[in-house]
Amino acid sequence: MSRQHTLLMPLDMHLHLRDGVMLETVAPLSSYTFSGAVVMPNLVPPITSKESLLAYKERVLLACGYGVDSDNFEDGDGLGGSDFEPLMTLFYQNYSEDFLQEVRDDIFAIKLYPAGITTNSEGGVESFDIETMRPTLEAMARMDIPLLVHGETDGFVMDREAEFMSIYKLLAENFPDLKIVMEHITTMAAVDMLERHENLYATITIHHLLITLDDVAGGMLAPHLFCKPIAKRPEDREALLKVALEAHPKVMFGSDSAPHPQHRKEACGCAAGVFTAPIALQLLCELFDKHGKLENLQNFVSDNAQNIYGICPEFKEVILENKEFKIPERYGEVVPIYAGKTIAWSIEDVI
């Protein structure tokens, strides 16, 4: 007899929705099962102004199935329905306090990328000169605007996140009132940092809980598992699993679901990104169930984020069932993780 497990108000605290046709393809897949998601700003060009932010939010809501009428977002047709909130972010620059005051009510956080370290990050931070950054970061702390960080250097690919720990330390100690989130952590070093600084938090993806570098390149190259930060060693995965399965209060789920068309993944110069959005909750249920920790999944996918950020998401009840589900070969032009494979949990209903 199959079992069911209910999740209330699931949240994806790190999501790439892209733009244009890709946005229209992937946004409804997240808005169907999640109450909200933190939407990344690394478009081309990146989201750095109030005008571009509001225009992008409107496109996201339209893609999710909302009709737009002046300042009001009304329900429309589509898979996404009406119970999804895109939590919008700006691409980090050294913004003035006046600008931050102007956009405060329209943004959830600001996302910092080191220059050139990942997809569409060429306009990111060139050097971490604390005094140059201080006016912006101190203003963010006063206004309670979180700083979300892609934490990698430009060193050897397996060491990039660990090398970035000194920068997290620098930021955390210089700006103790600033909420800093280490995005999509992949290493034991990052897990250790959670206990060292009160103002450091972290998101963890489903794919980094499942794979190591061996899955990506240990046999035939698996382009749909290639991402940045790259999957690491088994001992790193075990450290991530420990804090995720126990729902450590400073960690939360962020899919880092990053869609690319199939022709950009299965190509020379393979694009970095794993697409997990439509099957993330099913995979999480399977993983937590396998380890006997299903009772902790609610905290990992919602409650911790609510507590960390002080947010109250749109109500949504997702009922999952311990019933086999075959992952589609593709969603539009995008190939998901484990395409064509059968997993143990499926979505039974969304209320």
Name, in order, each residue with C-beta under 8 angstroms of 64's C-beta and a sequence gap of 6 or more: 27, 28, 30, 31, 78, 80, 81, 84, 86
Distance between start and end Cα atoms, the chain: 23
Name, in order, each residue with C-beta under 8 angstroms of 144's C-beta and a sequence gap of 6 or more: 179
CB atoms within 10 A of CB 52: 16
b/e burial code for range 27-46 (CB count within 10 A of at least 16 → b):
bbbbbbbbbbbbbbbbbeeb
SS3 call for 136:
helix
Helices (H) and strands (E) in the chain, counts: 13, 15
Q: DSSP secondary structure string, 100-117? A: HHHHGGG-SEEEE-BTTS
Name, in order, each residue with C-beta under 8 angstroms of 129's C-beta and a sequence gap of 6 or more: none
| Rounded distance between C-alpha atoms, residue 170 and residue 283, angstroms | 35
What is the number of residues in the chain? 351
- Residue 256 known to be catalytic: yes
Expressed in percent and rounded to 5, the helix, strand and coil fractions of the chain are: 40, 20, 45
Catalytic residue, candidates 129, 256, 303, 349: 256
Tally the C-alpha atoms within 13 A of residue 35's C-alpha that lie toward its C-beta: 19
| Rounded distance between C-alpha atoms, residue 350 and residue 8, angstroms | 10
Give the residue numbers marked as catalytic. Answer: 256
